[in-house]
Structure 1
Amino acid sequence: MAVCKVGPFGHPSGKIGDLVFYMSRGQALCRSKGKPGKATLKQKGNREEMAVTMELLKPMKDFINVSFKLEAEGSLRNPHNLATSYNKKQALTGVYPNIKVDYSKVVLSKGALEMAADLKVSKERDGLRLTWDSGIEANGLPDDLLLVLVSHPGKKRASTFLNAGKREDGSCFIPLDKDWMIREQMEVYVCFKSANERLISDSFYVGNLNGAADTAEQIAEKAKYQTVKSRFDQVAADYEKKKMDYAEGTVGSKAFRYLEKEYLVLKDKLTHLPGKPS
């Protein structure tokens, strides 16, 4: 990508040959338009990392536009660019093609304002209760605003609260007005912003509620396990009955041996098959 200097006739816009000219945050830029070849393993991994990061951040747009606003000011990057950069580098785990989000490492703000200590979250009937130590040791102030984001990964949604309370309150209630919200996986993040909007804290991962939702792979494993288990239960019942008949000499040995072999194969398969109920 190249930066275009403004000339006597201005800068071009659009495509000229294999070059594309465009503006980004007041800066004239140029990039080549090439034909992509076959992707390497590294490129595939990078694409999956980007796709997973975009899926994570898309529902968080309203929160990110506020939480990264200060850092983006005066730079060529916007809040979404910053959030993408931080989380693509820090919040992913695994390797292609199984890259996932480590929710404990998600970054939703960066700043020098003091974070509260002893942050905790608990479920109540119609929402969440957040508590924290309202004491101040560094540069915080009693009227610092608390920003809260509740991520609902299973629904690919997020609940944003940009003025949930003040530092001096020591607690706040976060209403969740949909029935599914209180039952689904929740990942809770907070940060503090000064009342004059000149300072913000690093974001803090308060924790998970309701555990993690099953991935598509886990759902498939559980379905396969149940299929094998159903067949095993059927064979096992037949085997136990025929075993008694065989002992009494009333069943042909060849048919019984086939049944016994299937019984033993299925039994061993269930022992090693993933997807077993916990």
Structure 2
Amino acid sequence: MAIAENGPGGRHRGRIGNIVYYMLGETNVARGVGITTKASTQAQLRQKLITKMRSELLRDLLDFVNTGFSIEAMQHSDNGFNRAVKNNPGIITGIYPDLEIAYDQVLLSKGRLNPAQNWKVNLVEAGLEYTWDTDPQMPWPQATDQVMLLAYFPQQQKVFYTLFGNSRLSGSDFLEIPPSLQDKYMETYMSFISADRKQLSDSIYTGSFNSDNKENKPLKS
């Protein structure tokens, strides 16, 4: 859709059919939008695959990143998914077409709260046991921050998470994993969110489990 500024005889801005109108300095310019017949370069194919892989990952984790980037999204009049894409520019590595996701570089939340200190994650019966340093003298409202936990299963494209878990003061929480997935390859993360939902911490990558069961899936552009 194009906008006619100052009436039908004024400047146009936007798209009508295959014509795009825009301002180039003080000049109102129109250009046609066509279909290229040139073969894509390897760099273009690589970028296309990077975009696809990153988008598919973040869509799998959409509920978590919508919360994890909610404050930044509000500040930029944007949405959580877009902010997650912008904050994860370099998470795809390798030489095309052998690309892979650097899960230890993935950021699932962003903010100014302190991240967990001296955290540990253990795979135990029924799920993941998270612990972190705590202090009985921890000031309010820091003590009321709630933990956010996530386990992602790349081969199954399944995710299990909690958005508003135990308090920072508690020093521990548990993420239940279904029995059918407990021996599958998984990538894990944790964050904190304030009790009033107005602040977040940067997410922490807390490692992978069952990596011996990791399978290489063929990638398609």
Identify the TM-score tier after normalising by the shorter chain.
0.7 to 0.9
Q: Could you tell me how far 1:9 is from its partner in structure 2?
A: 6.0
Q: Normalising by structure 1, what TM-score?
A: 0.66
Instruction: Tell me, yes or no, if structure 1 residue 99 matches structure 2 residue 99.
Output: yes
- Aligned Cα RMSD in Å? 3.1
Paired letter, 1:150: A
Instruction: Tell me, yes or no, if structure 1 residue 7 matches structure 2 residue 9.
Output: no
Is the CA contact 1:20–1:32 (under 8 Å) kept in the aligned structure 2? yes
* Moved segments of 4+, more than 6 Å: 3-6, 136-140
1:167 aligned residue: 168
Larger helix share, 1 or 2: 1
Is the CA contact 1:45–1:97 (under 8 Å) kept in the aligned structure 2? yes
- CA distance, structure 2, for counterparts of residue 216 and residue 5 of structure 1: 46
Q: Could you tell me how far 1:148 is from its partner in structure 2?
A: 1.0
Q: Following superposition of structure 1 onto structure 2, how do residues 1-278 of structure 1 map, counting pairs within 5 Å?
A: 7=5, 16-19=16-19, 33-36=33-36, 37-87=38-88, 89-135=89-135, 141-176=142-177, 178-211=178-211, 213-216=214-217
- 1:28-62 Cα distance to aligned partner (Å, 9 max, x none): xxx96431332111111100101111221121011
Shift of the 118–58 alpha-carbon distance from structure 1 to 2, 3 Å rule, reads same
Q: Which has the larger radius of gyration?
A: 1
- CA distance, structure 1, for counterparts of residue 181 and residue 7 of structure 2: 56
- Give the match's secondary structure for 1:164: coil
- Give the match's secondary structure for 2:179: coil
Is the CA contact 1:62–1:160 (under 8 Å) kept in the aligned structure 2? no
Q: Could you tell me how far 1:17 is from its partner in structure 2?
A: 2.9
- CA distance, structure 2, for counterparts of residue 195 and residue 69 of structure 1: 14
Instruction: Name stretches of at least 5 consecutive residues in structure 1 with no aligned partner.
Output: 22-30, 218-278
Is the CA contact 2:188–2:207 (under 8 Å) kept in the aligned structure 1? yes
Shift of the 138–211 alpha-carbon distance from structure 1 to 2, 3 Å rule, reads farther
Larger strand share, 1 or 2: 2
- Give the match's secondary structure for 1:117: coil
- 1:185-218 Cα distance to aligned partner (Å, 9 max, x none): 111111111111221100000111111612046x
The percent of aligned pairs where both chains have the same amino acid is 30
Q: Could you tell me how far 1:167 is from its partner in structure 2?
A: 0.2
